[in-house]
Structure 1
């Protein structure tokens, strides 16, 4: 299931979400976690916040190095999520990336 070269982070996540909808027994939680972990490690290595992907409403899901959380700010609400919380939320249909063109 690791054949996702050339896809954006959002496209990779959506691919795994769609696979889980087709076959709920596929182990996609770990695959999504791995995609997010690569963003986390990249941000920590560069020591700067990174945009992981775009969510509906043209908002950014970002990884913030200083608090070691994925952060989504919508209007005046800011959500801070641990990597495992975001992974589980994605599989429940929350904080999904917007569809992007390939």
Structure 2
């Protein structure tokens, strides 16, 4: 399990949160499908998974929820844009950077 340190804290369940633990290693195929379903439900079309930063952000959200089920996708979507970019980059690096090699 790793942690993303937020540049701007967010409120989650009445508490100020400065870092988000996440766990990509234990995500399942179902978790990946849930990420794409949540995107579609939010009205965000999925393009090419390897290059879609929105999908990467949703994967990160699934990884956070895997560690702490009290955190919801709506909590993750309140992150600053800068933190969201970092989070999406973490997911892209974990899932897709090795595919180019």
Indicate the TM-score class for this superposition, using the shorter chain for normalisation.
Answer: under 0.3
The TM-score with structure 2 as length reference comes to 0.28
Select the structure that is richer in helix: 2
The TM-score with structure 1 as length reference comes to 0.28
Q: Choose between structure 1 and 2 for higher RCO, CA contacts under 8 A separated by at least 6 residues.
A: 2
